[in-house]
Structure 1
Amino acid sequence: MTVTVGTSTVDPRTGGDGPVPVVRGYRFEMVKLFAQWRIRLLLLACWIAPAGFVAGVSGQSTLPVDTLFGRWMHATGWAGPLVMLGFAGTWALPLLTSLVAGDVFAVEDRLGTWRHLLVAVRSPRRIFAAKTLASVSVVLLLVAGLAVSSAVGGVLAVGNRPLVGLDGHLLTPGDAAGRVLLAWVCVLAPTLALAGIGLLGSVALGRSPVGLLLPALVALAMQLAQLLPLPVAARLALPGYAFIAWNGLFTAPTQLRPLLIGVLVSLAWAVTATALAYRLFLRRDFTGSGQDGIGRRGLTLGVLPLAGLAAVTVVALTALTGATGSGIEQDRVQRSVATAFAHLYRVQTRELNRPDVTEAQLRTTAACTKGAGSRAAEGPGNDWRCVVSWRLPGVEATGTAIYQLDVAADGRYMADGDGPKEVNGYFLVRTPAGDAPNPLWQFDGNVELLPTCEGKDQCR
């Protein structure tokens, strides 16, 4: 079927002579997006609200200690953007991609303007490219606003100070700034994966609200999956894992393997979902008066390849990494707790103005059990108990401290001090300058879920 424009005839599927360049189509789509009050409001909120939030929370007496790096918002301005990053990965970014990418094609269905747009551009392929590039550009602007605003708010409110890493080691302000920036860059990959899913839903379901909310629903499903005791390979095969894998940037040495896998998996999902949306878009019949997406059958055709991609990824990761089970094992928990305690003990030593010691001099070890000790010490749970031991130079006695651990399925844990009081039993320590937060009272840590190799022949 053809559409007549003046004295020329144009086929909306194949296009006519002289289709509009993608650059002009991109500019037109950007103008259309910024003409929407919803997009303008989102941009304003993303570039202003995080700064006010971080500055306001940093000035409160009560901090969000249940959020990663929340307990350090009083100490450094670089903790604020990381708290915001955790919130963004859970809620903000899925909703933003839904409102932008999930609506970029559906808006034409609501307004009934497809035939006019096809006549003007004369190329469905260039329309898809322009709309995709425009929606991705807006999403990137929103993410940039969240990152820049939260960082500026934190540094202005608290200062450019060192940051305590996830394993207790101290990061200089410059190093902290670079890792915070890299963490925000890494979450662009899962954000693009959700954007690709949004494009797919917008093409397949048209004006249906399900198409608009598809990225948020998929993100919620992936978050629920991360809470389950899934095998490590299945956890890494979901693009949502990259929203939390940036934690490994703040350990020493950095846990890069899970992060790189998460980024690559997310990019694979982004490319696959976008390619499926492109294929379905070219199959649409834009000439019918009641045209509204291609229906649930089209969405099914798009979902099945993504499910197949997830299955293939699980098999490949299992073979390549050798990861089995939950990845949370006794020796890994013990190493993580001992390392974090040694680093934080040095922080406490500086606070109390005591002679400095090194981690090697402390010779810190941890003995951890789970539950009543009648079952294997592995897997997530809030029933982990660790006894940390260390030695001071020139002191014969061995120091011990007890911690109760709540280990999440993704490997993150919170250690709560359970005595002795002078080490970790109270949340304040008395320093020469007055009372200060006790770094050993509670701390966050991260268990490396993938097997690591020490030496030439030993992998664990």
Structure 2
Amino acid sequence: MTATIDRAHAAARRGPVARAYRFELVKLVSQWRIRLLALACWIAPALFVAAVSRQSTLPVDTLFGRWMHATGWAGSLVMLGFAGTWALPLLMSLVAGDVFAAEDRLGTWRHLLVAVRSPRRIFAAKTLASLTVILLLVAGLAVSSAAGGILAVGNQPLVGLDGHLLAAPDAAGRVLLAWVCVLAPTLALAGIGLLGSVALVRSPMGLLLPVLLALALQLAQMLPLPVAVRLALPGYTFIAWTGLFTSPAQPGPLLIGIAVSVVWAATATALAYLLFLRRDFTNPAHDGPGRRAVTLGVLPLAALVAATVAVVAAAGATGPGIEQDKVQRSVATAFSHLYRLQTAQLNRPDVTEAQLAATAACNKGGGRLDARGPGNDWRCVVTWHLPGIEAAGTAVYQLDITPDGRFMADGDGPKEVNGYFLVRTPTGDAPNPLWQFDGNVALLPAAPKG
């Protein structure tokens, strides 16, 4: 009998949260801007990817943009890069950054407290409703962009970031995994949005906080920061998903970025919860916690950054992470994979990467500078061998390496290999995969073998 009563009491406690969640979810999806955002996320990416994929000029300065003619999966990755830079921070501002402040603007806290009778349930309901809408919007971006690419170009293999060819099923799985991984920094921005909505109340800065944080994180990633600081920032996962498209994959930076983002999301949400519980709802003119917002908001997050930097640095991540031997390995690996792709285009006898035995000799600033760190003054000479031919082949590349480890290699001859953007195939001219290609330098030290 006692157990039955206890279960009934537990169900009664859970009931109000579920009802409040449904109520908050209906309030969110009934807003015209949320409906407009959902419609845009589920339709606009497909139209954009399909339109760009059919153009004669592709966004080659965007990661995977040069492959949008070849496979439909490239368009989804182009959209993922754009979403991490602009779309997702804006969505977090409009959803999570306004979920509490809207009640202040409308003056409806008194009615909500009378109906729910628990600030804890109100916070839980609003947070869960925001999370539901966020997942719906992110799913729309992923599904729509992939569908637009597949319908416009087709379910073709994808060339990875190091030049190796991913079969269509493998490409689909990795694209899906990349979208799942960026949920972590998205939730970190959402947590910051909740914190700003609670702490800054009616101030428009609360609404803009996720966008401003994302902009600051993007600017930080453009600076020549030590790799420990770079990986300790919550937005790094928006970059680290590229490690899924190398062979072998580079999961280290991605896993660190996800862990950092999850800790940020949990910390920011917990701080928002504490501030919300301490709020004086009897004062209709309440305008935020003032200095307490700095104490309970900014300082813990600053301490979190410092602690994360110390942990990542202790794991062996030091310096800029871009070193001569890493660059040489990355360029040689990508060249080997893409050389085989060019060989298939020209209907020449196939050759394996082991037979090519490609190596790269790279320097910075013509050998006058220390060969480490980012810059557009890297130069590499790739050497390879073909079976049955004694003379080695050579090709020159100019590299522009960004501080986050991404690089674009621009072919500088010979013309027959990488000096022209087209190659003449038996079926007509086709894009030359060795003319320009993107690559990625692993910022973390390689794990010891054996």
Could you tell me the TM-score, scaled by structure 1's length? 0.94
C-alpha distance in structure 1 between counterparts of 2:312 and 2:146, whole Å:
35
Cα offset, 1:372, TM superposition: 2.9
Residue 349 of structure 2: SS of its match in structure 1? coil
Could you give the per-residue CA deviations for residues 362-408 of structure 1, whole angstroms, max 9, x where no partner exists?
00000000013122100000000000000000001100000000000
Residue 102 of structure 1: SS of its match in structure 2? helix
Is residue 84 of structure 1 aligned with residue 53 of structure 2?
no
1:424 counterpart residue number: 418
C-alpha distance in structure 2 between counterparts of 1:202 and 1:291, whole Å:
13
Residue 97 of structure 2: SS of its match in structure 1? coil
1:148 counterpart residue number: 143
Q: Is the 8 A contact 2:185 2:237 kept in 1?
A: yes
2:113 alignment partner, one of 102, 114, 118: 118
Cα offset, 1:253, TM superposition: 0.2
Q: Is the 8 A contact 2:224 2:320 kept in 1?
A: yes
Residue 304 of structure 2: SS of its match in structure 1? helix
Cα offset, 1:19, TM superposition: 9.2
1:12 counterpart residue number: none
Could you give the per-residue CA deviations for residues 159-195 of structure 1, whole angstroms, max 9, x where no partner exists?
0000000000000000000000000000000000000
Matches within 5 A, 1:441-456: 441-456=435-450
1:168 counterpart residue number: 163
Q: Is the 8 A contact 2:73 2:149 kept in 1?
A: yes
Is residue 208 of structure 1 aligned with residue 207 of structure 2?
no
Could you give the per-residue CA deviations for residues 97-145 of structure 1, whole angstroms, max 9, x where no partner exists?
0000000000000001111101110000000000000011101110000
Is residue 314 of structure 1 aligned with residue 309 of structure 2?
yes
1:407 alignment partner, one of 394, 401, 404: 401
Q: Which amino acid aligns with 1:102?
A: G
Matches within 5 A, 1:26-425: 26-295=21-290, 297-320=292-315, 322-425=316-419
Cα offset, 1:294, TM superposition: 2.1
Could you give the per-residue CA deviations for residues 27-73 of structure 1, whole angstroms, max 9, x where no partner exists?
00011101110000000000000000000000000000000000000
Q: Is the 8 A contact 1:20 1:123 kept in 2?
A: no
Instruction: List, as ranges, runs of 4+ consecutive aligned residues in structure 1 with deviation greater than 6 Å.
Output: 17-20
C-alpha distance in structure 1 between counterparts of 2:447 and 2:180, whole Å:
28
Q: Is the 8 A contact 1:19 1:123 kept in 2?
A: no
Cα offset, 1:303, TM superposition: 1.1
C-alpha distance in structure 2 between counterparts of 1:106 and 1:61, whole Å:
46
| Unpaired stretches in structure 2, ≥5 consecutive residues | 1-11
Could you tell me the TM-score, scaled by structure 2's length? 0.96
2:4 counterpart residue number: none
| Unpaired stretches in structure 1, ≥5 consecutive residues | 1-16
C-alpha distance in structure 2 between counterparts of 1:67 and 1:369, whole Å:
25
Cα offset, 1:300, TM superposition: 4.3
Percent identical pairs in the alignment equals: 80
Q: Is the 8 A contact 1:197 1:214 kept in 2?
A: yes
Distance 1:196 1:235, change over 3 A: same
Residue 372 of structure 1: SS of its match in structure 2? helix
C-alpha distance in structure 2 between counterparts of 1:195 and 1:383, whole Å:
39
Residue 361 of structure 2: SS of its match in structure 1? strand
Aligned residues: 439
Q: Is the 8 A contact 2:195 2:272 kept in 1?
A: yes
Give the aligned CA root-mean-square deviation in angstroms: 1.1
C-alpha distance in structure 2 between counterparts of 1:283 and 1:333, whole Å:
53
C-alpha distance in structure 1 between counterparts of 2:444 and 2:275, whole Å:
38
Distance 1:19 1:392, change over 3 A: closer
Q: Which amino acid aligns with 1:363?
A: A
Q: Which amino acid aligns with 1:394?
A: G
C-alpha distance in structure 2 between counterparts of 1:300 and 1:181, whole Å:
39
Residue 57 of structure 1: SS of its match in structure 2? helix
C-alpha distance in structure 1 between counterparts of 2:334 and 2:22, whole Å:
51
Q: Is the 8 A contact 2:366 2:379 kept in 1?
A: no
Distance 1:451 1:135, change over 3 A: same
Q: Is the 8 A contact 1:110 1:207 kept in 2?
A: yes
C-alpha distance in structure 2 between counterparts of 1:142 and 1:224, whole Å:
25
Cα offset, 1:292, TM superposition: 3.0
Could you give the per-residue CA deviations for residues 188-211 of structure 1, whole angstroms, max 9, x where no partner exists?
000000000000000000111000
Residue 63 of structure 2: SS of its match in structure 1? coil
Q: Which amino acid aligns with 2:397?
A: Y
Residue 380 of structure 2: SS of its match in structure 1? strand
C-alpha distance in structure 2 between counterparts of 1:377 and 1:299, whole Å:
42
1:8 counterpart residue number: none
C-alpha distance in structure 2 between counterparts of 1:347 and 1:271, whole Å:
45
